[in-house]
Amino acid sequence: MHKFTVLVVEDEKNICDFISKVLTSHDYRVSCASTGKEALSLASSLCPDIILLDLGLPDLDGIEVIQKIRSWSGNPIIVISARTLEDDKVQALDAGADDYLTKPFGTSELLARIRTSLRHSNKISGNGLPQHPYRAKGLEIDFFKRNITVNGQAIHLTPIEYKIVAFLAQNSGKVMTYSAVMNNVWGPYAESDNKILRVNMANIRRKLENNPAQPIYIFTEVGVGYRMVDEDIL
Ligand code: CA
């Protein structure tokens, strides 16, 4: 069986040991780096399937490490950070990280995030569309027909609303920053103000969610962006 290789970049030895132990016992192959430079060198020599990256490293800034790796590799990077500031998360995601975990985090959360990121990196087909419809909690999106149903009932979205939902669904389980959504829907010259996105999201929730105040499909990560519920595991 092919084991996935995880590169853990973390300068605190006890955290690194903890993550290694958890991942090894779940059949991952794990390597550790304790500095940014070591991370860059192992990222290229090991070709890990996924990288877990602490932002606070002794030599390089974590954001710089993400940018360097992103310049040649599309493999998932999950940021692990004690930083609770939303700006840091946004910066990391916009630099190319796929997701983040805030310390302290639980074992099941760590494993779930890794599974989600690995699944995403393997499922996008040649035309950029997912090969299968998105299905979660009664919501179904057929990306080829551009149909959305909730419990079998057709949902009528405007083209802009559809683009937002499809983009979030294609990245389900991962947080997408406001600017990533804005860029995808309105292009790189979109206004930097998120108001138009928030207005569209309110309309989307009114159409999709049973109770828009307590969404079950699209969650807000305050100050960061939106996360769409991960697909049902079949
Ligand atoms: Ca650190």
Whole-angstrom distance, CA of residue 117 vs CA of residue 189:
28
Burial per residue of 160-196, b for 16 or more beta-carbon CB atoms within 10 angstroms, e otherwise:
ebbbbbbbbbbbbbbbbbbbbbbbbbeeeebeeebee
**For the segment 136-176, what is each residue's pLDDT rounded down to a tens digit?**
999 999 988 889 999 999 999 998 899 899 999 999 999 99
For residue 188, pLDDT beyond 90: no
Per CATH, domain 134-228 is 3.50.50.60: no
Q: What is the pLDDT of residue 234?
A: 64
Burial per residue of 94-125, b for 16 or more beta-carbon CB atoms within 10 angstroms, e otherwise:
bbbbbbbbeeeeeeeebeebbbbbbebeeeee
Q: Provide mean pLDDT across the span 38-52.
A: 90
At 200, which helix (H) or strand (E)? helix 195-208
Q: Provide mean pLDDT across the span 22-31.
A: 95
CA of 9 to the centre of ligand 1 (A): 9
Report the CATH superfamily, name and number, of domain 5-121: Response regulator (3.40.50.2300)
Q: Provide mean pLDDT across the span 12-25.
A: 95
Q: Where are the domains of the chain?
A: 5-121, 134-228
CA of 73 to the centre of ligand 1 (A): 23
Q: Model's pTM, two decimal places?
A: 0.71
7-11, 35-39, 161-165, 183-187: which range is least confident on average? Answer: 183-187
Q: What is the pLDDT of residue 207?
A: 97
Q: What is the pLDDT of residue 126?
A: 45
CA of 104 to the centre of ligand 1 (A): 13
pLDDT band for position 129 (50/70/90)?
Answer: low
CA of 38 to the centre of ligand 1 (A): 14
Are 74 and 95 contacting, i.e. CB atoms less than 8 angstroms apart? no
Q: What is the pLDDT of residue 166?
A: 93
Q: How many CA atoms lie within 13 A of 129 on its CB side?
A: 13
Q: What is the pLDDT of residue 154?
A: 95
For residue 22, pLDDT beyond 70: yes
Decide whether 5-121 matches 134-228 in CATH topology: no
- Share the mean pLDDT of the chain: 89
Whole-angstrom distance, CA of residue 30 vs CA of residue 20:
6
